[in-house]
Amino acid sequence: MKAAITDGKGNVWLEEVPVPEVGPYHCLCNVLACATCTGTDIKIMYGKLPWKENYPAVLGHESVGKVIKTGEKVRYVKEGDIILRPTAVYPGEKIDGYYSIWGGFAEYGLVMDTEAFLEDHPGEETGYGKFQMKVPSTIEPADAIMLITLKETAGYVADMGITLNDSVVVLGAGPVAMSITLFCKLRGAFPVIVVARRDDPLENIKRFGANYIINNTKEDMQKKVMDITGGKGVKYIIDTAGDEKLFQDAFKILARDGKIAPYAVFPEEVFKRVDGTKILNAQTGEVPAHNYLLDLVRFGIVDLKEFYSHKLPFSEIKNGFEMLKNKEAFKVVFEMGV
């Protein structure tokens, strides 16, 4: 089968690797599609995560697949089920000499029957398997992948405790910022102010509920936020941009009791240069937010198609990442069977 490999030097390519073997609690899937996690995947490709990864490795963690074979102890997953995050190689393992950086960009992948495993091994951990959750077959594969980021961000906003009339600044206007803006609004935040460097993404994010937008390359962010808030500053800032200077500047627009939550990944030394008492370390909520997101989709509150810009065949993996780097796309879904 083909899998997308990266070397940590900015390159990505397709390589032939073996189909993963099915263990007793695992199922083999045809991977239907896998999407870019734009900021994280680009950092992975260039070896710029603040922790060490091993290369070369199979890339990708936003995948969806259809079960085609089940292990002998699988009881709660069946052939034909559609499941998020199938992986060709689990974190910490290798396939044909390639490491795992979540391993979703492949034609085949494994998922775990976590319910059966935990019944037979009470108190043990399922690791990456806990994220491999069923989705309705009525949701298109490319759309279903969007549930991953949406669940993470919905849980993050909830864990922060954002509620009615809390003032929020979101730094960045990409796919993560889009979903965070939406969930801030769904929880009743006001005003929600989005700060970014490019006009087109800022205009786009208005569709997700932003009350105000600020292009910080053209406007004085501090002055405008203080004007909007009557000089008080904002209660919460959520950083999705990962820009150290913008992150540091944002402390100037916090209210006296305000907190800043770094959703984006920064090197540890960045936090040594800011006021640590103002940092709010929230948790993503992919597992607990699962049914919540399915309901939002079912009720027509969330349109999953709004959270990606392009669909390409898997053979176009290199071109798709070039589009991201050149700002020609904000999120790309690669379809394996096209």
User: How many C-alpha atoms does 141 have within 13 Å on its Cβ side?
Assistant: 25
Answer whether 7's CB lies under 8 Å from 55's CB: yes
The reply to whether 44 falls in a domain is yes
Verify that 129 and 201 share a domain, yes or no: no
The whole domain housing 235 covers 149-278
Q: Please tell me the predicted confidence (pLDDT) of residue 107.
A: 98
pTM over 0.85? The answer is: yes
Q: Are 24 and 122 contained in the same domain?
A: yes
CATH number of the domain residue 207 falls in: 3.40.50.720
Write out the two tokens for 21.
């073997």
Q: What is the pLDDT of residue 38?
A: 80
Name the strand (E) or helix (H) holding 33: strand 26-35
Q: Please indicate, yes or no, if residue 141 is contained in any of the structural domains.
A: no
Which residues of the chain fall short of a pLDDT of 70? 338
**Do 316 and 226 fall into the same domain?**
no
What is the per-residue DSSP string for 145-156?
HHHHHHHHHHHH
Is 289 part of a structural domain of the chain? no
Q: Is 16 in the same domain as 131?
A: yes
The verdict on residue 299 lying in a domain is: no
Task: Look at residue 98 and tell me if it is in a domain.
Answer: yes
How many CA atoms within 13 Å lie on the side-chain side of 209?
21
Domains: count for the chain: 2
Residue 193 and residue 220 in one domain:
yes
Query: In 10 A of CB 46, how many CB atoms?
Result: 15
Number of neighbouring beta carbons within 10 Å of residue 114: 20
